[in-house]
Structure formats: C-alpha cells, structure tokens
Copies of this chain bind each other. A is one copy, B any other.
C-alpha cells in the first residue's frame, strides 16, 4: 500500500482510504471492471459511492496511474499501469493474462510498409489458456 501512497503523492493526489482501496483492489485482481471494483471496495467501505469510484478511475487514468483495458466482447476493465505487455484473453474462463514479448520487429515491418509512425501498441490474443486446455 505504501507504494500507492508514494505514487499518489508524486501526483499531488491525496491518499484517501477510497483511493487506496480502489488501487489495491485493481492491483489484486490484475484486470477488473467497474462493478467488480465497486463490489470489492464496498465491502470494506460501505459508504463509498459510485460517483467517487467513477471520479477516481477517471482521475487515475488521466494521471496515467491506471489504464483502460478494452477487450473484445468484454466489459471495459482497468489495470495498474505497468511496463508494456500484451493481453491473453481466455475464451473459456475469461481470465486475462499479462504477457511480455518483444514486438519491435512487427512494429518495424508495419512502419516500413505503411508510413505510419508507431508510438505504442495494444495487443490482445484470444484463445484458450493453459488451465482450460487440458
């Protein structure tokens, strides 16, 4: 939790219970949608309103502390911003796995052939995870 206090302080944001609980929840789950965050945080702070949740999510995104994760056929989810990675989405259990892989050569191919300058990418692989495969 100290980690998040520092991040908030660095952005001149106050470390409220609600904020810390939201960050902690997202961190714990890895990828989670608004309602699930609300349910989780609500258990600890039943007074927290959805307005506060929405405001915090939006603020934390604009300070680049959180990132939205928009997956095909899924409600929008959120994650703590971390080093660039791709997402593996299991069709079967709907779990989202982070995966770190070099994408430079793909990006270079695209740059060379399209004239488009790439600054960053968002990649989702749909399929079946190790556990669901059997």
Chain A contacts to B: CB under 8 angstroms: 68, 70-73, 86, 88, 90-91, 97, 99, 101-103, 106-107, 109-110, 113-130, 133
Contact B116 A127 (CB under 8 A): yes
Shortest A112–chain B CB gap in Å is 10
Cβ-defined contact, A116 with B101, below 8 A: no
* Residues on B with beta carbons closer than 8 Å to the beta carbon of A120: 125-127
Inter-chain contacts of A114 with B (CB < 8 A) = 88, 97, 99, 130
A96 to B116, CA, bound (A): 11
Residues on B with C-beta less than 8 A from A129 are 115-116
Residues of B within 8 Å of A122, CB to CB, are: 71-72, 123-124, 126
